Amino acid sequence: MRFGKTLRNSVYPPWSGKYIDYHKLKVLLREQDVTGEDASDSDGLSWTEQDEEAFVQELINVQLDKVNAFQVEMSQRLKERTSACEAKLRPLVPNPEQEEPVTEEEKRKAIASEVLQELDGIAKEVTELEKYSRINFTGFLKAVKKHDRKRGPRYRVKPLLQVRLSQLPFNTEDYSPLVHRLSVIYSFARQVLSEGVPESEEVTAESRFGHDAYSSYKFWIHADNILEVKTHILRRLPALIYNTRYPKDPATMPEDPAITSIYFDNPQFDLYNQKVARAPGAGSLRLRWTGQLQDKPPIFLEKKIATDDDRSRVVKVELKEKHVKEFLQGDYKLDKIVHRMQDMGEVESAHAESLKNDVDELHSFIKEFNLQPMLRANYTRTAFQIPGDDRIRISLDTNLALIREDSLDPERPCRDESEWHRAEIDKAGMKYPFSTIRTGEIVRFPHALLEIKLRGSAHNAEWVKDLMVSHLVKEAPRFSKFLHGIAQLFEDYVNSLPFWLSELDNDIRRDPETAFHEERERLAQRAEENMAVGSFMGTMGSPSIRPAMGTTTAIFAEAASPSSTRRYSQAVQARPQATIPAPPPPGADDTAASSEAEDNAAPPSSRLKSLFPSFMRNGRRGHRDSVVLPSGVRHPGVWIKDAGPVRVETKVWLANQRTFIKWLHISILLASLSLGLYNAAGKHNDIARALATVYTFFALFAAAWGWYMYEKRARLIRQRSGRDLDNLVGPILLLLHKATFSSTHTTMTAFDIQIVSDTVCPWCYVGFRRLSRAITTHRSQYPTDTFRLTWRAFYLNRESPPFPGQDKHEMYRAKFGAERTAAMGARLAVVGEGEGIKFRFGGRTGRTRDSHRLIWWAGEKQKIDSSSSTTESKAESKAEEPSIQTLVVQNLFRAYFEEEKNITDRSVLLEAAVEAGLPADEVEALLDSDRGGVQVDAEAERARQRLVSGVPYFTVQGRYAIEGANEPETFLEVFERIKSEDAA
């Protein structure tokens, strides 16, 4: 189903004009939804800067702002409506401060009934608002993906959209506090309506059921914080050992096991869509085992169904590997196990009947939805729990890899349709990071996953609460490996995406101080909300008030939950807290009150004191000097500590001199860097010259600052001053320089890329286009980087005939067969269209040795021209235009694959060379001779000896090899890795 139709079906009628105008965005993008044709190609109009600006303005500044404004408005309106319901119910609450509470039963029930109807409307709109946020969020991602795929070579909007989405709350707002308020009001209103109605024993028993059920909390953990989280947990809980047969020597303890789960769904992804929409009764099915499959571990088939009370019901059976396929097909029903259990007595007979029902339920579930393996999740799990005490259960999953397990593409299936799993992964015993899995079939989750399950009294564990609100974790409610994997790997198959995708590119690490204040504000907000609804729960006493540090919000400790109160009070005790001055009694001296106020205002200045001790000390000195001496006492003129000759230890003078020498060292280093950078920049590199000027300023400043501080400190030492010798100005400016240097010193990397290819290889043409896109994207971020491409020869078919060659279709059919040839041509046409290549497979083909000789000679010609040119012109040509050799290769690719010209025809070779800028007479002389033949034959032989079995084959900096026509992201990852290594 197209997303446009999905969007129209998801519109909530009262809000019909507030959704994203997806059709208008497609019109601006020139894509017709009905025919699916590219309008920019059909009508002959090119995509201009004005078109791009119009699309971006409509997407970011119109549609996104419209959706966000409506979501914020509706959220605020729902909160106000909830507050209005609270106000209507407040007269029904017994309150000593209220003079005339409503006591008439009929009137009380009428008010409660009216509020219940209003609450039903609020609850419905809260649900619709969440759906509204999700469908619009998906629409923005779909529109940007369509734009980047269509206009991606020159324009990319996804990074800009991700930045804007991270700043707007419409797709990340947590509705849990509002739902909590609604729940309390619902409970009170129903309690009013049920007054006088006796409660049955069945209802009473049902209300107690599930009292000790687990509460689950999920979090993301940044890789930098994993060890700290582990140690924090290990202080309270031991880590579980999965293998009980481990050695007694602690040094040989087994590693945490790798757990594999295979999730099932159908080609329409019905289970995924139900789970994303949180539909009632949404189910999931998975196979799970621990360790490597070749070790024959027990395999569990689990079905999980969401119940109406926001919990889940699990149906699970244990299978052996040899029975999994038969069970999934419905041929194996555990009959032997069932019969054996039935023969063991009444108790086991009941268990056998339960097992039989579970098997039938699983079979019917698989058959009903036509389920098949779709996704594999592999992760390393560390579990923490006290043996024999399951009140607190914590699991930490790291190295999470999500891998496609489907066979949706018949031409390139990820899994053999006759198998229930990818045998090549399990037979080879692959482990994380699964480097041999093809790009596009695997997603590696960047964070660790923490899940905390609490039961009973464990909800009051202070250390667990501290962990859940600390800066070490980021809350990730309702996160699912299944949903995340499907959304990332099957994005083209689904029209609804989970809300957390936009947060993946954000840095989830938080400053501890910031996390503390955020928790303080959250608790203050919760206390206010609890105060508003607390009267309905019988907690409307006279709450004690504690001021929140740094804010004017008062926290109502008695209205808040006990756990939040304890956590809050514990956090407050860890920091200095200001006190509220009591009002002065009548007739008290104004001076005394003022003095008391100044004393109470003192703590805020302690932070200034810690940052600027000399400033605070100077302020106190001014106050001290204004002291009036009593009569008969005169000022001594000099302090006792300053009397007598100056006696200073030698190490004090040496420390001052050593600091001065350090500053001189920094100055000389910066000056050398500035001089070298300026000489290497040339007259056309304005960025490097500007940086050299900045570094010169810092060098002069470092020398002047070092001399100034040396003289100042020497004077203070001689004067025996008690003032602080530190000064933050110089180091701060030096840090600014370091930040500038760190952000720019890696922008001058010279990349050397060798490409082994054949001029009749279509994937070499595709790989070159993708490499060019990667280079363009990289240069947009690092404009001073240079790239040198060197082409090496490779013969796909050494026995190809010389001129005039042979017909392409005959060669392809003889080599691959007619059916495979048609499939390959169709696939290349689709891939080529995405790269701007219009593949045509007519014409003739043959031996490519002469074309490789021409490419080799173009490279030699380029070396001669480069050696005779200046440094500036050489750097400029490298940075702004392709080399002559690359132009020749590009012209040959276009002539052979798009213009159906004969690669063995010397006139075609001459035309490609002349178009690249080579002299025609020299090219003709080259083609008439055998010059370069020995060299290209040697290149092809060296490639064969290096075990290069397929082309294209890229070698970057002589360190990293990339085989095949990979996506631009692969090249960009290698470029970034090289820059980080060079920086280190």
- Position 597: which residue type? A
- State yes or no: pLDDT of 292 exceeds 60: yes
The SS3 assignment for 579 reads coil
| Greatest CA separation for the chain | 122
Which residue's structure tokens are 């899940």? 451
Which helix (H) or strand (E) segment holds residue 640: the answer is none
Higher-confidence position of 280 and 395: 395
What local confidence, expressed as pLDDT, does residue 983 receive? 73
Q: Where are the domains of the chain?
A: 3-32+48-93+105-195, 215-245+253-332+371-519, 646-742, 750-864+881-983
- Let me know: does 111 contact 92? Beta carbons within 8 Å: yes
What mean pLDDT do residues 722-745 have?
68
Higher-confidence position of 241 and 416: 416
Domain 215-245+253-332+371-519 indexed as CATH 3.20.100.30 = yes
How far is Cα of residue 478 from the mean position of the Cα atoms in its chain? 17
| Residues comprising the chain, all counted | 984
- 931-934, Cβ contacts within 8 angstroms, sequence gap of 24 or more: 931/853, 931/857, 932/852, 932/853, 932/856, 932/857, 932/860, 933/849, 933/853
**Least confident segment among 188-197, 569-578, 933-942:** 569-578
pLDDT per position as a tens digit, 868-922: 554 444 444 444 578 899 999 999 999 999 999 999 999 999 999 999 999 999 9
- State yes or no: pLDDT of 687 exceeds 60: yes
Strand 474-475 relative to strand 283-290, pairing: unpaired
What local confidence, expressed as pLDDT, does residue 629 receive? 67
What local confidence, expressed as pLDDT, does residue 684 receive? 66
What local confidence, expressed as pLDDT, does residue 41 receive? 42
Q: If 0-12 CB within 10 Å is exposed, 13-18 middle and 19+ buried, where does residue 483 land? A: buried
Higher-confidence position of 154 and 343: 343
Higher-confidence position of 4 and 177: 4
Token digits of residue 720: 């025996």
Q: How confident is residue 969, by pLDDT bands cut at 50, 70 and 90?
A: very high
Which residue's structure tokens are 């995406």? 497
What local confidence, expressed as pLDDT, does residue 900 receive? 93
pLDDT above 70 coverage of the chain, percent = 76
pLDDT per position as a tens digit, 618-650: 444 444 445 666 666 667 666 665 666 666 677
Domain 750-864+881-983 indexed as CATH 3.40.30.10 = yes
What mean pLDDT do residues 641-668 have?
79
**Least confident segment among 348-357, 827-836, 859-868:** 859-868
What local confidence, expressed as pLDDT, does residue 770 receive? 94
**Least confident segment among 108-122, 461-475, 545-559, 816-830:** 545-559
